[in-house]
Amino acid sequence: MNAAVDFKNVDIVFGAAQKEALELIDKGATRAEILEKTGAVLGCAECNLTVNEGDISVLMGLSGSGKSTLLRAVNRLNVPARGSVMVTDDGRQVDVASCDNATLRHIRQTRVAMVFQQFGLLPWRTVEENVGLGLELSGVREAERKERVRKQLALVGLEQWAKKYAHELSGGMQQRVGLARAFATEAPILLMDEPFSALDPLIRTKLQDELLQLQEKLKKTIIFVSHDLEEALKIGSHISIMEGGRIVQTGAPEDIVLRPANDYVREFISNVNPLSVLTAWNVMRDRRDLEHAGEDGWLWLDRRQTTRFKIDADGLVAAAERNGQPAIWLSCDEVEALPPDAPRVFWARPGTSLKTVMLAMHRSQTSPVALFDEQSRFVGAIGIRDVLSAVLRR
Ligand SMILES: Nc1ncnc2c1ncn2[C@@H]1O[C@H](COP(=O)(O)OP(=O)(O)OP(=O)(O)O)[C@@H](O)[C@H]1O
């Protein structure tokens, strides 16, 4: 995987006493201590984060935790006091923190586009003129500009609104214009600073869905700031949790939910429904950890020893038993398919949602659920206790 943006030991300090503040950062001082001793405000400290191409990397944390400060270092709207922010530009790495102005201009015009919370549309320009603004500033000719603007407006479903002014559009539509404007630059890296937080919840959910759909097609690298963990878990391929200017944990959504690094993160996830992120893979017991049930490749799927599978040499299931009776095994997706009295054991794929697994357990009198890989080989099992541990986080 190639890194699109690589933050290396980034410190950002607001105020004159940079040197003193950096010395205090090295001693592990908090923002409050640095402010008290130097009068400088710690924006962010010791931030390390690699954002791979095609990732949606979410910076998450309470207000003032330093999310926007770090984000804005990618196009040097904030200048790091120390450290580097490497941005990949046609295969070569540029340190935005220290590059010359011509290189910075090139990066801003062709590599990195930004979408703001308050849309940032110019009221005296029409929708199409707003979308074309970045192109105009970088000297793209009118004919090409028009074509690119038309294409991007179509992508966000706003072709009919090209000649309207911002105030004639709803908040959600204005933010779509903001997205189209960023897309129109064709920059591969998008910085999004709480782009949906000014919108009401329904529109917000809709735009999150639209962004994910667009991302399927466009495969940008997105760094997204949010203070909403539900939003972060939904759209992030990785999430970095920030506290007091420092990144305290980076991980995939399920890592954050299953293995919070400290109490601050635990507090954040305490109100999150784990069913919205966890999959069968996250909660299963590996087949190597299952107990043998006699000879001939039989394995118990559950600790209570109600259900066992006979696994053949290729890793495929050859026979199944439930409570001593021969059973059939079928996919969780077919949970409605048979009358409830047939003895059966359900199986799931690694990416099957935990909710689907639970439904299958419920339908089969809490029988364990097996996990099969794409070649239908048996890889592990999920018992009721695994589900409870994950949901209760114990
Ligand atoms: N231009 C600036 N000058 C001085 N201090 C600043 C500046 N920008 C940010 N700060 C300070 O840096 C700290 C981090 O702010 P930042 O905006 O990055 O937080 P945030 O996590 O994005 O918060 P929010 O969700 O409220 O936007 C805050 O204490 C803020 O007051």
* pLDDT of the residue at 172: 80
- Cα of 375 to ligand 1 centre, how many Å? 50
Under DSSP, the state recorded for 76 is T
Reported as a pLDDT band with limits 50, 70 and 90, residue 394 is low
Cα gap 292→235, rounded to integer Å:
40
Dump pLDDT digits (tens) for 35-44.
Answer: 999 999 999 9
Closest CA to 112 of 82, 85, 147: 85
- Cα of 63 to ligand 1 centre, how many Å? 8
Q: Residue 64: CB within 6 Å of ligand 1?
A: yes
* pLDDT of the residue at 338: 63
What's the angle, vertex CA 253, arms to CA 360 and CA 119, rounded to 5? 120
Q: Residue 61: CB within 6 Å of ligand 1?
A: yes
Q: Residue 244: CB within 6 Å of ligand 1?
A: no
Q: Which atom of ligand 1 is nearest to the CA of 78?
A: 1
Residue nearest to atom 10 of ligand 1 (CA): 43
* pLDDT of the residue at 314: 92
- Cα of 202 to ligand 1 centre, how many Å? 28
Q: Which atom of ligand 1 is nearest to the CA of 65?
A: 21
Cα gap 302→286, rounded to integer Å:
12
Q: Residue 227: CB within 6 Å of ligand 1?
A: yes
pLDDT of 155 above 90: no
Q: Residue 240: CB within 6 Å of ligand 1?
A: no
CA dihedral 95, 97, 101, 105 (to 10 degrees): 70
- Cα of 251 to ligand 1 centre, how many Å? 23
Q: Residue 35: CB within 6 Å of ligand 1?
A: no
* Exposed/middle/buried for residue 135 (C-beta within 10 Å: 0-12, 13-18, 19+): buried
* pLDDT of the residue at 95: 96
Residue nearest to atom 25 of ligand 1 (CA): 63
Cα gap 23→19, rounded to integer Å:
6
Q: Residue 41: CB within 6 Å of ligand 1?
A: yes
The letter for the amino acid at 342 is A
Helix-then-strand count for the chain, H and E: 15, 19
Domain residue ranges of the chain, discontinuous segments joined by +: 3-111+187-274, 281-392
Q: Residue 72: CB within 6 Å of ligand 1?
A: no
Q: Residue 251: CB within 6 Å of ligand 1?
A: no
Count the neighbouring beta carbons within 10 Å of the beta carbon of residue 254.
18
| Token pair for 316 | 């495929």
| Token pair for 124 | 């005296």
Q: Residue 69: CB within 6 Å of ligand 1?
A: yes
pLDDT more than 70, % of the chain: 98
- Cα of 334 to ligand 1 centre, how many Å? 51
The mean pLDDT of the chain is: 89
- Cα of 25 to ligand 1 centre, how many Å? 17
Count the neighbouring beta carbons within 10 Å of the beta carbon of residue 242.
26
> Tell me, what's the ipTM?
0.92
Dump pLDDT digits (tens) for 357-379.
Answer: 999 998 888 889 999 999 999 99
Q: Where are the alpha helices (DSSP H) in the chain?
A: 18-26, 31-38, 67-71, 101-110, 127-131, 133-137, 142-155, 171-184, 201-218, 229-235, 253-258, 263-269, 280-283, 354-363, 384-392
Q: Residue 178: CB within 6 Å of ligand 1?
A: no
Residue 335 or residue 211, greater confidence: 211
Kindly report the CATH number that applies to the domain delimited by 3-111+187-274: 3.40.50.300
* pLDDT of the residue at 339: 64
Cα gap 360→66, rounded to integer Å:
43
For the chain, the distance separating the N- and C-terminal CA atoms, rounded to the nearest angstrom, is 34
* pLDDT of the residue at 341: 62
Is there a contact between 175 and 156 (Cβ–Cβ < 8 Å)? no
281-392 under CATH 3.10.580.10, yes or no: yes
Cα gap 274→98, rounded to integer Å:
42
Predicted TM-score of the model (pTM): 0.81
Dump pLDDT digits (tens) for 63-113.
Answer: 899 999 999 999 999 999 999 999 998 878 999 999 999 999 999 988 998
